[in-house]
Amino acid sequence: MSGLVHLTRDGDIGIITINNPPVNALSIGVPEGMAAAIQTCCKDPSVKAMILIGGGTTFIAGADIKEFEKITSGEKPIGNALFQLFPLLENCSKPIIAAIHGTALGGGLETAMCCHYRVAAASARVGQPEVKLGLIPGAGGTQRLPRLIGLAKAAEICAGGELVSAAEAARIGILDQLIDGDLLQGAIAFARQVIAKGGVPCKTSDRPIPPYDPQAMSAVKHAVAKRSRGLLAPQKAIEAVEAASLPFEEGLQREAELFAECLFSEQSKALIHVFFGEREVSKIPGIGQEVSKLPIRVAAVVGAGTMGGGIAMSYANAGIPVLLKETGQEALERGLANLRKNYAATVQKGRMTQAEMEQRWELIQPTLNYDRFTEADIVVEAVFEGMELKKQVFAELEKVTRPDAILASNTSTLDIDAIATATSRPQQVIGHHFFSPANVMRLLEIVRGKETSPQVIATSMALAKTLKKVGVLVGNCHGFVGNRMFGPYQREAQFLVEEGASVQEVDAALVDFGMALGPFSVADLAGLDVAWRIRHEVQHQVPQGTRQPLVLDTLYERGRYGQKTGAGWYRYPDGSRMAIPDPDVQQWIEEKSHQSGIVRRDISKEEIVERVLYPLINEGAKILAEGIAARAVDIDMIYLYGYGFPAYRGGPMWYADTVGLHRVYERICQFEQQHGAEWSPAPLLKKLAESGKKFSDLDRDRSINRD
């Protein structure tokens, strides 16, 4: 038996414990160890039943995701050991009871369904989250789950990937019993009842599928289609679940074919990159686990505008009391009214109870002064964007906060080091760049100043997790990582409409690519006044003769600031969010093109995508070379969680790898010849392309160097 699985006894019951921390994944050795333990128990006449339980904090979180790359690269075949274990489990002549705590996910739930009974702690959760990795359950999940709970419910769970609470799982028939108190003792008691009743194993695969409900199935299909635009796996999961109507072995065969299709898809590789990437970004080169973190018990936010309100909600949602300071009663009341409206909408959508809302509301403490700021472990400044005002606020904060308090700025463009000069404790100053709406968007760009202390960085990274954000550490430069890369993306979108594409063609090409919104819809949402102001602020740095977008000024001068004024690149009639193409805008664009001597032409969808995404990738390469982002994966996570980049493409740098850096580099060189120096390729991109390498190779080298 492997060291990963232990067999012990409680009288006539064999207890098989899996010990593969942290999550008891089914890594090499685990299925083999379970199989050996079962065989030992089967041979021993004194064993009447078995319990399968996880050691540590959880049951089994599924197959070992790290193994999938070995399969797709041809190093290893698909799940041999698992496929040998499952018939052994299910066909065992002695009853086996899965005892679940923590989570039973993917291959973990599939293992549990091969057992003859399932009991669980009330806090446990189960699920088939494979679709989040671009996969479907591949070890019988799509065939056994329908036999327990029916086709429609199984399709919902397999295609949606959401976890199910133990109470719900017991209600719908995945679990046989919930256990109060000690799980193992409860499972032993359950096993003894099974033995007392004759100990006959009950095979899931032998069960008839509960009656089919076509209406419920079509509702599931509709919901899945709506939620999973561009995704392959959810559709395949439904197809596999429907194959459960076939004889069991045939259904399994169909599941295996669909699983392999998904596993070898680019989508799955990208989503697995995202799974590990999301965890990788929290590991900061040079800042180890040993760096102590400051406790964050009370927070304060300065400015109750769009961002300050959302940031205060994020703290309250995490159960952290937060002071919210404004300059005057009217602004404070306006901010609070917005907060209240936001919470009420969440309650109305059924995502929060009224009682939860009241609890969170209580945690937000409005104020017009700094009286209680000594209580704050962290202050997040979210006043208007302007260096003088920011410095003034930080100078005030220095006086009213404790010396160990973290002083964070939510600035989206300003120099964190310059802001830090307003205090005598620059080591406590850091950027916490939330994205709008701050209570919803998961990205938190954490901007390290040149003097920010490792402890403040480590605390910020941990805090991001507490706030349920993905914290990504970046260096200090104009626009940091996300907005700096977004500049050339937006610029090229505007050039494309000047050259012949329409606003809606550009947006549609990017939405087809998978972006949540096209560049012009994003601009209208963020506010064209903001874009105009940022462009004019940095105008003096732009070399003479550089091509400038022609139409933004026209829209700005006409007061078309986007959704907030009912018109921008599109029209939004009667305050709606529905973007209507505007012939006036098309006319202004054509006039400007004509005046500038641009000959308009048809532009293909492919060119549109290349023209807007490649400068973004090129800027990303410059950012990497400068060390503003530590790894390509950090940039990928920023784009996924802050800019609506499709997860199934892995992020811009991963996407560039999949296109091939040589191809990206060549196109950038061509665009440089056609459109000028703005397109000059990043030296790092050139180097990688010429050496046949990828950004992910660079990440691998960097992480090896770190270790």
Positions marked active-site:
110, 130
Q: How far apart, in whole angstroms, are the C-alpha atoms of residue 339 and residue 312? A: 9
Residue 164 has phi, psi (to 5 degrees) of: -120, 135
Cite the beta strand spans of 181-309 per DSSP E: 299-302
* Integer Cα distance of 223 and 474 in angstroms: 37
Q: Does 644 bind ligand NAI (CB under 6 A)?
A: no
* Spatial distance between the Cα atoms of 456 and 450, rounded to a whole number of angstroms: 12
156 three-class SS: helix
Task: Give the full edge-to-edge strand order of the sheet including 125-127.
Answer: 103-105, 125-127, 164-165
Give the residue, chosen from 327, 353, 354, 576, that forms a contact with ligand NAI under the rule CB under 6 A. 327
- Give residues 512-551 in contact with ligand NAI (rule: CB under 6 A): 526
Fill in the DSSP letter of residue 211: P
233 is an interface residue for ligand 3HC by CB under 6 A: no
Which helix (DSSP H) or strand (DSSP E) does residue 125 occupy?
strand 125-127
Rounded to whole angstroms, the Cα distance separating 684 from 624 reads 8
CB-based contacts of 682, cutoff 8 Å, min separation 6? 618, 619, 621, 622, 625
- Residue 253 binds ligand NAI, judged by CB under 6 A: no
Tokens of 302: 């300065």
* 382 binds ligand NAI per the rule CB under 6 A: yes
Select the binding partner of residue 139 from ligand 3HC, ligand NAI, none (C-beta < 5 to 8 A, by kind). Answer: ligand 3HC
Q: Is 410 in the site for ligand NAI (CB under 6 A)?
A: yes
Three-class SS of residue 365?
strand
Region of residue 237 (phi > 0: left; psi between -120 and 50: alpha; otherwise: beta)? alpha
Number of residues that bind ligand NAI (CB under 6 A): 25
Binding to ligand NAI by residue 306, rule CB under 6 A?
A: yes
What residue is closest to ligand NAI based on CB? 305
Give the nearer residue to ligand NAI in terms of CB position, either 217 or 380: 380
If binding is defined by CB under 6 A, does position 61 make contact with ligand 3HC? yes
Q: At its nearest, how many Å lie between ligand NAI and the CB of residue 400?
A: 12
How many angstroms separate the CA atoms of 318 and 256, rounded?
A: 41
Only segment of 128-136, 258-266, 279-287, 376-384 that touches ligand NAI (CB under 6 A) = 376-384
Kindly state the number of chain residues that form the binding site for ligand 3HC, as judged by CB under 6 A: 23
Which of 106, 160, 487, 651 is close enough to bind ligand 3HC by CB under 6 A? 106
Cβ proximity of 492 and 612 under 8 Å: yes
Q: Report what 678 binds from ligand NAI, ligand 3HC, none; CB cut-off 5-8 Å by kind.
A: none
Tokens describing residue 269:
């590789």
Q: Using CB distances below 5 to 8 A depending on partner kind, what does residue 110 bind out of ligand 3HC, ligand NAI, none? A: ligand 3HC
Residue 387 or residue 625: which is nearer to ligand NAI going by CB? 387
Q: Does 331 interact with ligand NAI (rule: CB under 6 A)?
A: yes
Nearer to ligand NAI (CB atom), residue 269 or residue 325: 325
Closest by Cα among 47, 36, 52 to 85 = 36
Question: Segment 602-621, which members bind ligand 3HC (CB under 6 A)?
Answer: none
d(CA 570, CA 577): 10
Q: From ligand NAI, ligand 3HC, none, which one binds at residue 14 (CB under 5 to 8 Å depending on kind)?
A: none
Task: Provide the H-helix boundaries in 18-161.
Answer: 30-43, 66-72, 80-90, 107-114, 141-149, 151-160
CA distance 238 to 359: 40
15, 18, 53, 65: which one binds ligand 3HC (CB under 6 A): 65
Angle value at C-alpha 476, between 475 and 481, nearest 5 degrees:
65
138 binds, among ligand 3HC, ligand NAI, none (CB under 5 to 8 A by kind): ligand 3HC
Local structure of residue 328 (DSSP, 8 states)? S
Indicate the residue among 287 and 332 with the shorter CB distance to ligand NAI: 332
Identify the burial level of 43 via C-beta atoms within 10 angstroms of its C-beta, where 0-12 means exposed, 13-18 middle and 19 or more buried: exposed
- Give the residue from 100, 87, 283 showing the smallest Cα distance to 190: 100
326 near ligand NAI, judged by CB under 6 A: yes
Chain length of the chain: 707
- C-beta closer to ligand NAI: residue 391 or 686: 391
Q: Which of residues 114-143 bind ligand 3HC (CB under 6 A)?
A: 129-130, 133, 135, 137-139, 141
Residue 352: φ, ψ to 5°: -155, 145
Q: Which one of ligand 3HC, ligand NAI, none is in contact with 61 (Cβ closer than 5 to 8 A by kind)?
A: ligand 3HC
- Which of ligand 3HC, ligand NAI, none is residue 499 near (CB under 5 to 8 Å by kind)? none
- Of 436, 455, 502, 548, which lies in the binding site for ligand NAI, with binding defined by CB under 6 A? 436
CA 681 to chain centre: 30
Among 4, 38, 47, 63, binds ligand 3HC (CB under 6 A): 63
Q: Which does 137 bind (CB under 5 to 8 A by kind): ligand NAI, ligand 3HC, none?
A: ligand 3HC
Nearer to ligand NAI by Cβ, of 140 and 308: the residue is 308
Rg of the Cα trace of the chain? 28
Give the residue nearest to ligand 3HC (CB): 106
In the complex with ligand NAI, the residue whose CB is nearer, 59 or 434, is 434
CB 410 within 8 A of CB 470: no
Candidates 261, 280, 375, 385; binder of ligand NAI (CB under 6 A) is 385
If the CB atoms of residues 182 and 333 are measured against ligand NAI, the closer one turns out to be 333
Burial class for 703, CB neighbours closer than 10 Å (0-12, 13-18, 19+): middle
Q: Which of ligand NAI, ligand 3HC, none lies near 325, with the C-beta cut-off 5 to 8 A by kind?
A: ligand NAI
Q: Of ligand NAI, ligand 3HC, none, which one sits near residue 550, judging by CB under 5 to 8 A according to partner kind?
A: none
> Binding residues for ligand 3HC, per CB under 6 A?
22-23, 25, 61-66, 103, 105-107, 110, 129-130, 133, 135, 137-139, 141, 279
Under the rule (CB under 6 A), what is the footprint of ligand NAI? 302-308, 325-327, 331, 335, 382-385, 389, 393, 410-412, 434-436, 526
